[in-house]
Chains A and B, each alone.
Chain A
Amino acid sequence: MSLQRFVIKRSLITIPLLLGISLLTFGMVHAIPGDPIDFITLFTELDPQTEMEIRAEYGLDQPVYIQYIDWVTSAATGDFGRSIITRDPVINEIMERLPYTLVMGIMAFGVTLATAIPTGVIAAYYRNTKIDQASRVFALLGIAIPNFLLGLLLLLIFASWLDLFPILPPTSKGILSYDMLVYTLLPAITIGTGSTALLMRLMRSSMVEELDKDYVRTARAKGLPERTVVRKHVLRNSLISVVTVAAIQVAFIISGSVVVEIVFSYPGIGRLLVDRVGNRDFPVIQAIVLLIGVAVILANFVADVLYAYLDPRIRY
């Protein structure tokens, strides 16, 4: 009951957040130096009459706030206009690339959680032993290594030397083909490594803290098996702080995908974004940046709800 109310309240807060994101996105794209007209016409000299017509076609002759309102209202219906470069509807271009990035991101997040939580638990339970030290070294390396370098190393080792993966993604087979899914593991691991390292250490420290609490002694004094004490009592409380940070990692995974997609020549929206930034294809840029913002807001929303679910004291 109270959880339900919390969810409703919390989802209302996302409305102003979404509006703010759209305003920022629009503002940033329009603050980029360079007139979009030049890119539309490929820097050819135009007579004022034609220029006016082109401006009118893209709505560029309107005051900025009118442009914003037009953009937001049509964006709300999924219409982001047409690309300046390809003249295709922006939404089609994005929908074509989005599944790739989504699959890669979900895989990265899955790999992160599936490795970070168990290894963090083990490191905490065997704290200050060799196991714990090994995990600490791995974590330091994982946090320190830049995405693009790790990506190149993985390509070098697994694709070039060991020949386990192709160097280029088998894009023609489609995202849900077996070959493509297997290939996607490489960029997914590349993006997820930093988050894995961070979450693992966080899981460890949070768990160490919880293991020292009085309720753990109460649970042991009830005669519960150690397995139950750790999995039921300690894990749930330790996860509370991990969940929040894991949600923020979603943002890192999304932003990481931009660089990693280029390293792996991966056909996702990150690469699309970089391509179009060079061409001032502002309708596409706006749409992708907005999409990323929305994804981060949603991730935070999910985190807050999970947080409230895990910790009954949170529901206000």
Chain B
Amino acid sequence: MAMLEVEDLNVRFYTDDGVVKATNDLSYRIEAGERFGVVGESGAGKSVTSLALMRLIDEPGVIESGEIRFKGQNILEMDEEEMRELRGNEIAMIFQDAGTALNPSYTVGEQISEAIRYHIGLDEEAARERAIETLESVGIPSAAERYSDYPHEFSGGMQQRVVIAIALSCDPDLIIADEPTTALDVTIEAQILELLEEVATEFDTAIQLITHDLGVVAEFCDRVMVMYAGHPVEMAPVEDVYYDPQHPYTVGLMSSIPRIGDERDRLQTIPGRMPDLIEMPPGCNFHPRCPYAEESCTRMEPQLVDVETGEPADPINSDAQSAACLAHTGELTGELDYEVTVRGEDDPVGSGDAASSAGVSDR
């Protein structure tokens, strides 16, 4: 049994314009201590997925069906009291924009120690000490003095460290990091990722990292789920996705990453945009933007299948690379004839035909 198992999760938003299908039969798992990446464009349902894990989806959103099992217990059946015990204590969250995620009128120390007092039951003084330790562990210099500073007295990167400290304060088993570095500049981004990696290893914490940046995923994650329009289109260990992507959307995401030594004049982008989640295109949701789409793609909705066998994938019990594209069930006449080039430190070292899983050497 994995630490977290999400099965057939359906989140709906009942708006005046219609029902928004934010996630569709979403299933995945995260093992203890694992780093799991969730990638996709804005609107793919990444944040909704993470808020669903905390049961913090606001009106008019509802978790319509499915199960979220944390350590074997379905959290969707818990009462509010049990849920609060989990939040911040066993499952913690790191939010995107630290500048707004912190309350401007309380000191950062208070914002860390209030959770410690509540969950661990320490008194004022002990909670303060633990909060200062946590601040130190996220690399805030002279933590004891900064304990009583207000958020506006910190820089953006330092604020993000405080937000991470809040998440770490009660020693959670799972941290959901929702685009933790999007609001930061690149050098700070690298520091924050390094910090997350350090603390994840030190405390043996599992992390679900939500991002739109495949580069971040490559550095950080063990496994990755690529989401499109509320469901996974590809799920695999991170190397497989990098060296051997199996879904045209993943390929599109990858080709829009600039790489040093790139000879392309312009970045490639995926044409079009995410479909309207109220009225999704029939068949494969991605077909209007897919360069390989055929007539059958407009009719048949591809299921997530094991790319080796073409059998329906089991995202909860298996690690095998799976993708949701008709190419893998033999229902396409053509091939996905793209090339994946992976460059090493100094030189291009290999290339391969992704559709036939040709070998690609290391980076």
Q: Which residues of A contact B (CB under 8 A)?
A: 213-215, 217-225, 228, 232-233, 236-237, 240, 310-313
How far is A213 from B114 in the complex, measured between Cα atoms in Å?
A: 19
A31 to B58, CA, bound (A): 62
Residues of A near B87 (CB, < 8 A) are: 220-223
**Taking the complex as formed, is B166 at the interface, i.e. its CB lies under 8 A from any CB of chain A?**
yes
- Quick check: is B56 within 8 A (CB to CB) of the other chain? yes
**4 nearest interchain CB pairs?**
A223-B87, A223-B88, A222-B88, A214-B100
| C-alpha spacing A47/B93, complex, angstroms | 91
Measured between beta carbons, the chain A residues less than 8 angstroms from B150 are 312-313
Which chain B residue has the least Cβ–Cβ distance from A234? B103
B114 touches A311 (CB 8 A): no
> Is B115 a contact of A224 with CB atoms below 8 Å?
yes
* A218→B166 contact, CB < 8 A: yes
By the criterion CB–CB under 8 Å, are A223 and B105 in contact?
A: no
Instruction: Report A-chain residues with C-beta under 8 Å of the C-beta of B104.
Output: 215, 237, 311-313
Given A237-B103, A312-B105, also A218-B95 (CB < 8 A): yes
Q: Nearest B residue to A310 by beta-carbon distance?
A: B105
Question: Counting chain B CB atoms within 10 Å of each CB, which of A220, A232, A236 scores highest?
Answer: A220
Give A271 to B87 CA distance when docked, in angstroms. Answer: 60
The CA-CA distance from A220 to B91 in the complex, in Å, is 12
Given A213-B100, A221-B92, A312-B152, the answer on whether A237 and B84 have CB atoms closer than 8 Å is no
Interface pair A219/B103, CB less than 8 Å apart = yes
Give the contact-size bracket for chain B. Answer: 20 to 34
Q: Check A220 against B56 for contact (C-beta < 8 Å).
A: yes
Q: In the assembly, what is the distance between CA of A281 and CA of B19, in Å? A: 73
Quick one: which of B90-148 are within 8 Å of A by CB? 92-93, 95, 97, 100-106, 111, 114-115, 118-119
Q: What are 14 contact pairs spanning A and B, CB under 8 A?
A: A214-B100, A215-B103, A217-B95, A218-B166, A220-B56, A221-B87, A221-B93, A222-B114, A222-B166, A223-B89, A223-B118, A225-B84, A237-B103, A313-B152
Which residues of the partner chain B approach A221 to less than 8 Å between Cβ atoms?
Answer: 54, 56, 87-88, 92-93, 95
Closest A residue to B167 by CB, please name it.
A221
B105 near A311 with CB under 8 A, answer yes
Which of chain A's residues have a CB closer than 8 A to the CB of B102?
215, 218
17 A-B pairs besides A218-B95, A220-B54 with CB distance below 8 A are A214-B97, A214-B101, A217-B56, A217-B101, A218-B102, A219-B103, A222-B88, A222-B115, A223-B85, A223-B87, A223-B88, A223-B118, A224-B84, A224-B114, A233-B106, A313-B104, A313-B152
Given the known interface contacts A214-B97, A222-B118, A312-B150, the answer about A237 and B105 at a Cβ–Cβ threshold of 8 Å is yes
Q: Does B163 contact A (CB under 8 A)?
A: yes
Residue contact B101 to A215, C-beta cutoff 8 Å: yes
Q: Which residues of B contact A219 (CB under 8 A)?
A: 103
Instruction: Enumerate chain B residues within 8 angstroms of A232, measured Cβ to Cβ.
Output: 114
Quick one: closest A residue to B93, CB to CB? A221
Which residue of chain A has the shortest Cβ distance to B110 in the bound complex?
A232
Q: Which residues of A contact B95 (CB under 8 A)?
A: 214, 217-218, 221
Pairwise interchain contact B115-A223, C-beta atoms closer than 8 A: yes
Report the minimal beta-carbon distance from A240 to chain B, rounded to whole angstroms: 8
With a cutoff of 8 Å between Cβ atoms, the chain A residues found around residue B97 in the complex are 214
- CB pair B86 A223 closer than 8 Å: yes
| Nearest opposing residue in chain B for A315, CB measure | B150
Q: How many Å lie between the Cα of A218 and that of B54 in the bound state?
A: 11
Q: Which residue of B lies closest to A215 (CB)?
A: B103
Q: Are A236 and B105 in contact (CB under 8 A)?
A: yes
Give A216 Cβ to nearest chain B Cβ, in Å. Answer: 8
Q: Which residues of B contact A217 (CB under 8 A)?
A: 56, 95, 101
In the bound complex, residues from chain B placing their C-beta under 8 Å from that of A236 are: 105-106
Check A215–B84 contact: CB distance below 8 A.
no
Bound Cα distance from A272 to B93, whole angstroms = 63
**Residues of chain B within 8 A of A218, CB atoms compared:** 93, 95, 101-103, 111, 163, 166
A151 CA to B152 CA in the complex, in Å? 48
Q: Please indicate the chain B residues that have their CB under 8 angstroms from the CB of A225 in the complex.
A: 84
Closest to A212 in B: B58
CA separation between A221 and B166, bound complex, in Å?
10
Smallest Cβ-Cβ distance to B90: which chain A residue: A223
Report which residue of A217, A222, A225, A233 has the largest number of chain B beta carbons within 10 angstroms of its beta carbon.
A222
A312 to B150, CA, bound (A): 7
Query: CA–CA, A310 to B106, complex, Å?
Result: 9
Closest to B163 in A: A218
Query: Does the CB pair A215–B100 fall under 8 Å?
Result: yes
- Shortest CB–CB separation between residue A128 and chain B, in angstroms? 10
Q: Which residues of B contact A237 (CB under 8 A)?
A: 103-105
Task: List B residues 187-227 near A (Cβ within 8 Å).
Answer: none
Task: Say whether B103 contacts A223, CB under 8 Å.
Answer: no
Question: In whole angstroms, how far apart are the Cα atoms of A313 and B85 in the complex?
Answer: 33
Closest chain-A Cβ to B51's Cβ sits at a distance in Å of: 8
Which residues of chain B come closer than 8 Å to A214, judged between CB atoms? 95, 97, 100-101
Question: Smallest distance from the beta carbon of B207 to chain A beta carbons, Å?
Answer: 15
Q: How far is the CB of B129 from chain A (nearest CB, A)?
A: 19
In whole Å, how far is B134's beta carbon from the nearest beta carbon of chain A? 13
In Å, the complex CA distance between A108 and B84 comes to 41
- The residue of chain B having its C-beta at the shortest distance from the C-beta of A309 within the complex is B105
Most chain B beta-carbon contacts within 10 A, residue among A213, A218, A236:
A218
CA distance A38 to B190 in the complex (A): 85
Alpha-carbon gap, A232 to B115, bound state (A): 13
Residue of B84, B88, B103 near A233 (CB, 8 A) is: B103
Residues of B within 8 A of A312 (CB): 104-105, 150, 152
